[in-house]
Structure 1
């Protein structure tokens, strides 16, 4: 499991390590005793208990058996999977193609009622027009050398966009003005995307804010992120996909969103910036 800079991921690793260490102590075993029962080096037991090395599912099974706590095996493996899922590198996430990566997020979208999205580099997927999505996913597929299932992945993302129109959900999107002016796919694709944003902004359950480019900002741009209710935050980084569930960290992103939202313009002022970007394309 990759080590993430997020304390959410690290705390999940640490909590699992502490539970395993407690099992060892409750069984009256030392780290050396456990290593001998499992056929490991003593250093391996120590690294696992101190969260320096993550255990595998087989390690957990052996650990529980050595401690006479087989009834806790599945719960501990579930905790391992949760910790692993907080940080997923792109190669692992997209190993079966882009379509599966798109479909995997659908349950999260279906159960969320309040969405907040901030983007400093690309139009958020939920409000992308189909040609823009195609251009973006084609670029990812070529850059990462993935299997070419772009058409299926685009269809999956378009299907996911149905949550915009189904059920009682609220969406707040913030984009930097630079997103309107530095796009992907060429002038025709960007023109269609900007027109799509104007249409999306008219939906009653959607708020679309544009953070204007200006030289005197007190809150600089941040990495793009999604907030799902107050349950989790997802961040797309260069190396992988980060999920944050620690309440204090989710609150930090909610606060950041509020600060950026205060800098944004909406309604007619936002449409004016979008129209200006359209005029620049022409």
Structure 2
């Protein structure tokens, strides 16, 4: 026990179960085990993730993407990465790199992000993606970049394993707008903050994100109605 308390030895799953049992809190064991396993990577600053540039960060997601069967993504501000076009990625990552002062490897990072997005066309994966209507209208890059991005969304919507919904401005909000997040199967959620990436693996917390996603899904429109919102956003584009 003294080695655990001093941090000399990390607790095993059995140690945590025994401790929770002794504290009459066995129902919390799963959450504590998940927190223990991911303590180092639960809250990771972007400056740490991007200290060698952006390419390696893009590539680091590949194993997670390849093993995930069900993707659930909610984005309140930008088009989800899996659906981004090359020019859109370049404009977005350039802004991020300039803001955070990271090494400029934008061309390599764009190629890596597009390569990792191949999972949307290959393999046995399912994708449920939701965006706020604002994401269709927040201009990333110039008018041509946004027009190409919106046209790409119309194409991707026809993919058989992709469900794409838009939450209209006019929705009767039963769920407020929150930060962008992704849930991979039902095992892990990732949340994007301004300064850091948060990795959530505690089962009760992951269930909260799944519940939130379900609420957003009820607010969204799909099919012809979603296409109409995308087309309306494209029609209003004017050269910057």
TM score, norm. by length of structure 2: 0.85
Q: Deviations over 1:4-58 (max 9, x none)?
A: xxxxxxxxxxxxxxxxxx2448xxxxxxxxxxxxxxxxxxxxxx65xxxxx5xxx
Match of residue 98 from structure 2:
142
Match of residue 84 from structure 1:
40
Runs of 4+ in 1 over 6 A off after TM superposition: none
Please tell me whether residue 189 in structure 1 is matched to residue 145 in structure 2.
yes
Match of residue 74 from structure 2:
118
Determine the C-alpha separation between the residues in 1 that align with 2:104 and 2:177: 33
Determine the C-alpha separation between the residues in 2 that align with 1:127 and 1:267: 16
| SS of equivalent residue, structure 1 residue 88 | strand
Match of residue 237 from structure 1:
193
- Quote the offset at 1:218 in angstroms: 2.2
Q: Deviations over 1:142-167 (max 9, x none)?
A: 11111110100000001001111111
Q: Deviations over 1:100-153 (max 9, x none)?
A: 111111110010000000000010100001100000001111111111101000
**Structure 2 residues without counterparts, runs of 5 or longer:** 12-34
Count of aligned pairs? 215
Match of residue 218 from structure 1:
174
Match of residue 207 from structure 2:
251
* Higher RCO (CA-CA < 8 Å; seq separation 6+): 2
| SS of equivalent residue, structure 1 residue 241 | strand
Structure 1 vs Structure 2 CA RMSD = 1.9
CA contact (8 A) 2:83 2:117 kept: yes
- Quote the offset at 1:83 in angstroms: 1.0
Match of residue 165 from structure 2:
209
Structure exhibiting the larger radius of gyration computed from Cα positions: 1
**Structure 1 residues without counterparts, runs of 5 or longer:** 1-21, 26-47, 50-54, 65-78
- Quote the offset at 1:239 in angstroms: 1.3
Among candidates 230, 236, 240, match of residue 280 of structure 1: 236
Determine the C-alpha separation between the residues in 2 that align with 1:24 and 1:172: 45
| SS of equivalent residue, structure 1 residue 171 | strand
Match of residue 129 from structure 1:
85
Determine the C-alpha separation between the residues in 1 that align with 2:136 and 2:212: 21
Match of residue 27 from structure 2:
none
| SS of equivalent residue, structure 1 residue 208 | strand
Match of residue 270 from structure 1:
226
- Quote the offset at 1:82 in angstroms: 3.0
The 10-residue stretch of structure 1 (215-224 or 172-181) with the greater mean CA deviation from structure 2: 215-224
